[in-house]
Amino acid sequence: MRRTGAQIVWEMLRQEGVEVVFGMPGGSIMTTYHPRQEYGVRHVLIRHEQAAAHAADGYARASGRVGVAMTTSGPGATNLTTGIATAMMDSIPMVCITGQVRTSSIGSDAFQEADITGITLPITKHNYLVTDVHDLARTIREAFHIASTGRPGPVLIDLPVDVQTAEMDFKPPEGDVRLPGYRCEAPIDPATVERIAAALADAERPVILAGHGVALSGGAHLLRTMVETAELPVATTLLGKGSFPDRHPLALGMMGMHGTPAANYAIQQADLLLVLGMRFDDRVTGCLDRYAPHARKIHVDLDPAEICKNVQVDLGVVADVHDVLEGLMPLVRRDDRTAWIERIAVWKSDAAEREIVSHLQSDALTGPEALHEIWRTTEGNALVVTDVGQNQMWAAQYYASSRPRSFLSSGGLGTMGFALPAAIGAQIAKPTNEVWVVAGDGGFQMNIQELATVVQEELPLRIAVLNNGYLGMVRQWQEHFYDGRYEATKLWNPDFVRLAEAYGLEAWRGTTVDEAHDAIERAHGCGSACLIEFVVVGEGEEGNVYPMVPAGAALHEMMQRPIPVGVQSRRWSS
């Protein structure tokens, strides 16, 4: 079959099972766009290339398949970089295809030329500049293999115009992908699994730390079975949410800077941490010198680079989390840890009571109340995609998740503007799911133009904008650590309801709990895209996220929500 490079791109995408591509055409990629309709691959026209990367990312997170983004050269390609870095930090499988100037013009500062392979070298798992059409099919196949195997990540293919137009006698590659030096297999040693089981049996105060790797490995069901068998408490990372049900009796909740008191206290007093598929980032550990000082640490991760990178461990296991959990299943047993479980129950009860007695009795709506109402209305069954900041932490704390890939958020890079485009990808990946966007007024405006994509693609997204009039998390830090000087954090905002209506969405506003409840009920039953603007408290303690571990502090030194003056509590009166 005689095929151009452009046709080979779509032939190979179809062979890789790609159903949708997110992107925007331009001068150096138009040739590749031209034959797309002949191959039946859906294209979603995004309004900004950064959003194309986030949409492909959200598609991959929700589905477990490789997300694909396509843009032109120069600014089109460089606009992808924030989304690529986001995917790299969170181990998301993605393939980005960028147009490039002709091979004869590379290096000449041609119109819309950028060295995108050089630019993205630190933020991709691998990248390619294809200079010969005969290498194109093999390159695309390798890219999907690299993106989706081992520790997943983004791969970029840069495609010059003349390679897109060149012709060749095309025959799809056959056989397995062979890449000398690329090793992603990590066979588990049975003796190592036995050591882990023995350590669990010996521990009096064990804690399981479940990270993103649990969901990526498909091991969530095994984790729950093992935990229930051995009665082991579980704390999760932000990206690990849903790997273990948040409302399970053995769930400690999220750990780290804005984690629950039960999770943070348990880690600091544990005598064993079994760490599954997480990378010990600074937002999880707090002060490294005082992190889990009494605990033996066993770290299971597919990437050997993560073992002892940030935290020295007693046993590092380079293996797939699923395989380790499967090996542990017949070996674990239930031991009497009544005292440990009861101590954890006290921490949970104390934190819950502090939340109740510290709530200011007023008609003003708070962020936690808005998120709780969304959870209550959806019964925890929605797929939630958050932005970054206070809205993100409140969603993690107050929207209880019960299954993997149901809570999507930018963890490692913390990318404001992530939620709306990522939710576009997630909704396309899961068309029958109820998908909620949770965003702050600051982050929402960073990719607000994608409301047009939502309407054009007829996606029934529910969008919750928490409008507190500030860059809220920055304001909170300024309040606590910068003498209350709110520098460059106060926002003037548009009327989000009227703006949404201008794009063609139904929209409502909630300023009280009752109004918020009514709007959420309407959105829950809405069959098309809609938006709710929640006008929430933006200043004072009711506008802050708690708990909060200050920079440089240990996890147990977290700041908890203050008790209002004059309010007494049975537990806290002392």
What local confidence, expressed as pLDDT, does residue 561 receive?
83
Whether residue 154 has a cis bond before it, omega within 30° of 0? no
What's the angle, vertex CA 114, arms to CA 112 and CA 118, rounded to 5?
170
Contact 210, 223 (CB under 8 A): yes
- CA dihedral of residues 136, 137, 138, 139 (deg, nearest 10): 50
Q: Copy the structure tokens of residue 219.
A: 């091991």
Rounded (10°) angle between helices 513-524 and 367-378? 40
Sign of the dihedral through C-alpha 322, 327, 330, 336: negative
Residue 567: pLDDT over 70: no
Cα radius of gyration rounded to whole Å, the chain? 25
User: For the chain, which residues make up each domain, given as ranges?
Assistant: 2-169, 190-345, 365-536
What local confidence, expressed as pLDDT, does residue 566 receive?
55
Burial of 68 (0-12, 13-18, 19+ CB in 10 A): buried
When pLDDT is cut at 50, 70 and 90, the band that residue 570 belongs to is: very low
Q: Copy the structure tokens of residue 343.
A: 């101590």
Rounded (10°) angle between helices 321-328 and 190-202? 60
Contact 495, 556 (CB under 8 A): no
Contact 504, 455 (CB under 8 A): yes
Helix, strand or coil for residue 462? strand
**For residue range 494-543, what is the model confidence (pLDDT) as tens digits?**
999 999 999 999 999 999 999 999 999 999 999 999 999 999 999 888 89
Can you name the CATH fold of 365-536? Rossmann fold (3.40.50)
Helix, strand or coil for residue 84? helix
Q: CB atoms < 10 A from the CB of 539, how many?
A: 16
Rounded (10°) angle between helices 338-357 and 261-269? 150
Summarize the confidence of residues 416-423 as an average pLDDT: 98
- CA dihedral of residues 389, 424, 26, 38 (deg, nearest 10): 160
What local confidence, expressed as pLDDT, does residue 356 receive?
60
Summarize the confidence of residues 142-151 as an average pLDDT: 97
What local confidence, expressed as pLDDT, does residue 431 receive?
98
What local confidence, expressed as pLDDT, does residue 574 receive?
30
Residue 573: pLDDT over 50: no
**For residue range 229-250, what is the model confidence (pLDDT) as tens digits?**
999 999 999 999 999 999 999 9
What local confidence, expressed as pLDDT, does residue 359 receive?
52
Can you name the CATH fold of 190-345? Rossmann fold (3.40.50)
Backbone angles phi, psi at 418, to 5 degrees: -70, -40
What local confidence, expressed as pLDDT, does residue 565 receive?
57
**For residue range 392-409, what is the model confidence (pLDDT) as tens digits?**
999 999 999 999 999 999
Summarize the confidence of residues 16-23 as an average pLDDT: 98
Residue 569: pLDDT over 50: no
Identify residue 482 by its one-letter amino acid code. Answer: Y
> What burial letters (b/e) apply to 145-169, b meaning 16+ CB within 10 Å?
bbbbbbbbbbbbbbbbbbbbebebe
Summarize the confidence of residues 491-496 as an average pLDDT: 97
- For the chain, what percent of residues have pLDDT higher than 90? 91
- The residues near 287 (Cβ < 8 Å, ≥ 6 apart) are 552, 553, 554
Find, among 478, 459, 462, the residue nearest to 470 by Cα.
478
Q: Within 13 Å of residue 332, how many CA atoms lie on the same side as its CB?
A: 23
**For residue range 436-445, what is the model confidence (pLDDT) as tens digits?**
999 999 999 9
Q: Copy the structure tokens of residue 352.
A: 């819950």
**For residue range 53-73, what is the model confidence (pLDDT) as tens digits?**
999 999 999 999 999 999 999
> Quick check: do 2-169 and 190-345 share a fold?
yes
Domain with residues 2-169, CATH architecture: 3-Layer(aba) Sandwich (3.40)
The Cα 38–Cα 128 span in angstroms is: 26
Summarize the confidence of residues 347-374 as an average pLDDT: 79
Q: Copy the structure tokens of residue 9.
A: 């791109």
**For residue range 126-136, what is the model confidence (pLDDT) as tens digits?**
999 999 999 99
**For residue range 335-360, what is the model confidence (pLDDT) as tens digits?**
899 999 999 999 998 888 776 654 55
**For residue range 264-304, what is the model confidence (pLDDT) as tens digits?**
999 999 999 999 999 999 999 999 999 999 999 999 999 99
- For the chain, what percent of residues have pLDDT higher than 70? 97
Per the rule left: phi > 0, alpha: psi between -120 and 50, beta: everything else, 214 is alpha
